[in-house]
Structure 1
């Protein structure tokens, strides 16, 4: 396919009125022309709109993906705002059905109130919609689970002609619908598997990175949920290991009214590392935007307070701030080799980093286009923040381009909802079911109404 090497877009600072609605979350892309947003109030209205109109359409959700994923194909396309199609539709003892545009935070709150959780660990940000999380492969951490789409039992979609289709796990197209890139139809309802909530105790520690190649897999094999942040310049790792809490810890958590239980700690062994990273961040961003949130995302690494709580209280605690985030999935069996490669590259180049490398591992996914399809996977995450004037430093851009190129050479699969240079990847070679997915797309959307320039280049 013909592609253009990725250029990270500049962030727009002064937005008002409809222009705010027509920008993605990071405010670095315009999604469509004025007047292009249509807001159906019900699924029936959505069906009627698609049945009686023509032209390209894209769903904007919470707008947290890069703009090219959401943008309409041309100046006559339509952006579908489905925010009214939100909330709980129905539930049983061990399932819950939500409208597609329900924010993940509401999904988690509903389940937590019932003493339940998904059989999937959350990501750190819960503002995205359920449909968007499925469409892009949102995932958490822990080899005993995979992406949030792995919890889906059935998915309801409105197709390009306005008809409604239901897909359950017995349907042959279900692995395509699980992660459809917004290119198959409009997800209006998802039935999720629910399980009894587990109360975890998460232990936080700082360790050296000399043995990270071996330690990473060991940590993940020996603990239920693991997340690690690697600071190559200081050769340190902050690692969180979460396992089921003891009976006494659960009792104390319940006595506290189910609020996150914090344990006493005196660990401050990463203060120097944090200060080094903050210096790079301050220098490159010339004063950060978004009320200094990027600074707070880094200063939190001073905190080594062990905690007891449910999975959402422990892991769903991110600070939402616009950024350029590159995340590449590597088979866990090869993660050690990639870590060694990054160490060598870092020693030679000494890049200026705004944030540590994020390491999250998951088990296999059955979604055809999931980066963790059929394999234990380690996701390597890289972050560069915007300056207050909406620019990115040359050093930050060079860093992201270099690390992505290095991981692409190792057979990495990029996270669909983040930034990546598509010219680096041979998609059919990376995804054995790529052609099968394309055939499902031709069957469900033969006129490619849900395509835009990005999806068209990717899939055609």
Structure 2
């Protein structure tokens, strides 16, 4: 096990009752003293808290991101808890407006009850707040959609002076505000574009990964929603492809009282591969519970079946568990080349595989700092789970370091809400709108109130 690492810190597993810090969700970073936290009950209190802050301000939602995104340095700094700013504010035939602190789980529940949905496919978990998910580029899968931020019709934002701004799609700064990294202000409300709810049937298959370079493109071109897990050690891939459910499948779902319908016919094609992966994960983590959360994330691939349900029932199936998660976006046209490079690296170096490679593709995004800005993109995801004692597998961390270097060399762009080594990237070269974003940030926050050490260095 590895005890410490600047990019991949150990998590705290035994905090004392005397500890007066607030931590990020993974508990691998202390964000601030609890006395630095302010919890406004409404937008007016949010305005007053920001206007009256003497030091720097960071706005937190569910704290799912790495601690560096939120960490404060000085006693006069303020950490704003937005959890009370939640709920549906208004809706009409084509949109719904939610407070920024609303969890995605609540957003999806409310829309489902309205028989509506977002065009954007959900991420694997729904613990994030709406404002946090937008600000870091949360996305799902499928070339016919992009990130959650691309479903925003308008965004209300409180600037460094406490003034409220309303940005809609006609505003020249909207592309900056869509994905602002928390550096432009505090999002108090978001109006999302909605559409009639649709049921999907997801077909699950397993096979060899010999032709993954070609098949990945074919799956995403042929299916509205597609996602796969690649197990290089076993040369196997597990793929989920979904399209709109047939009339008979929709009737079966309604007869099942609106719960996910699971076909009775199952496949054991993944069972041996999953068992091998579980052996490695248990060795890496020393977690004694055979049904621990990290293991359940891959055990679900055993005896898999096709399913029918709404988009959230089908794809929002993640199990939130502390981990180091790196996700790098590669332009879709270059994804086959990167898969070939990964195969060559795996064949020559035999890197330690803690977990399968996760592949999700999206259509172009209009957010200036989205890794998918203006081009279809394939996101390569890599995971290492924390061990029982809060440490990380040294081999697992070495894999993460090397695989990120490889993808960065191929022009990859990291997911902002996950872990990455900023020194690997030339941000202005990767993002043509980088300087325009910096200008918007300076206009909304000329004194840098919404920065911290990490974001100030990132945007310098």
Alignment TM class, shorter chain as reference: over 0.9
Q: List gaps (5 residues or longer) in structure 1.
A: none
| 2:142 alignment partner, SS class | coil
Distance across 2 between alignment mates of 1:427 and 1:365: 17
Distance across 2 between alignment mates of 1:288 and 1:378: 35
Q: CA RMSD in A?
A: 1.5
- Which runs of structure 1 show a deviation greater than 3 angstroms over 4 or more consecutive aligned residues? 16-21, 288-291
> Shift of the alpha carbon at 1:15?
2.5
| 2:187 alignment partner, SS class | strand
| 1:416 alignment partner, SS class | coil
Number of paired residues?
Answer: 456
Distance across 1 between alignment mates of 2:290 and 2:182: 29
Q: Deviations over 1:294-334 (max 9, x none)?
A: 01112111141100011000000100001000000000000
1:71 aligns with 71
Q: Quick one: structure 1 residues 291 and 442, their matched pair in 2 at CA, closer, same or farther if it must change by over 3 Å?
A: farther
Distance across 2 between alignment mates of 1:191 and 1:94: 10
Q: Quick one: structure 1 residues 375 and 327, their matched pair in 2 at CA, closer, same or farther if it must change by over 3 Å?
A: same
Contact kept, 8 Å, 1:261 with 1:309, in 2: the verdict is yes
Distance across 2 between alignment mates of 1:49 and 1:415: 30
1:358-373 to 2 correspondences below 5 Å: 358-373=358-373
Q: Quick one: structure 1 residues 251 and 39, their matched pair in 2 at CA, closer, same or farther if it must change by over 3 Å?
A: same
Q: Deviations over 1:152-211 (max 9, x none)?
A: 000001111111110000000000000000000000000000001111000000011000
Contact kept, 8 Å, 1:58 with 1:70, in 2: the verdict is yes
Contact kept, 8 Å, 2:53 with 2:77, in 1: the verdict is no
1:46 aligns with 46
> Shift of the alpha carbon at 1:73?
3.9
Contact kept, 8 Å, 2:124 with 2:316, in 1: the verdict is yes
Q: List gaps (5 residues or longer) in structure 2.
A: none
Q: Quick one: structure 1 residues 180 and 456, their matched pair in 2 at CA, closer, same or farther if it must change by over 3 Å?
A: same
2:400 aligns with 400
Contact kept, 8 Å, 1:73 with 1:451, in 2: the verdict is no
| 1:31 alignment partner, SS class | strand
Distance across 1 between alignment mates of 2:166 and 2:17: 37
Q: Quick one: structure 1 residues 397 and 98, their matched pair in 2 at CA, closer, same or farther if it must change by over 3 Å?
A: same
Distance across 1 between alignment mates of 2:42 and 2:447: 24
| 2:166 alignment partner, SS class | strand
Distance across 1 between alignment mates of 2:230 and 2:127: 26
> Shift of the alpha carbon at 1:127?
0.5
1:279 aligns with 279
| 1:392 alignment partner, SS class | coil
> Shift of the alpha carbon at 1:75?
3.5
> Shift of the alpha carbon at 1:51?
2.0
> Structure 1 residue 313 and structure 2 residue 291: aligned?
no
Q: Quick one: structure 1 residues 22 and 139, their matched pair in 2 at CA, closer, same or farther if it must change by over 3 Å?
A: same
1:428 aligns with 428
Q: Quick one: structure 1 residues 247 and 132, their matched pair in 2 at CA, closer, same or farther if it must change by over 3 Å?
A: same
Contact kept, 8 Å, 1:326 with 1:381, in 2: the verdict is yes
| 2:33 alignment partner, SS class | coil
TM-score (norm 1): 0.97
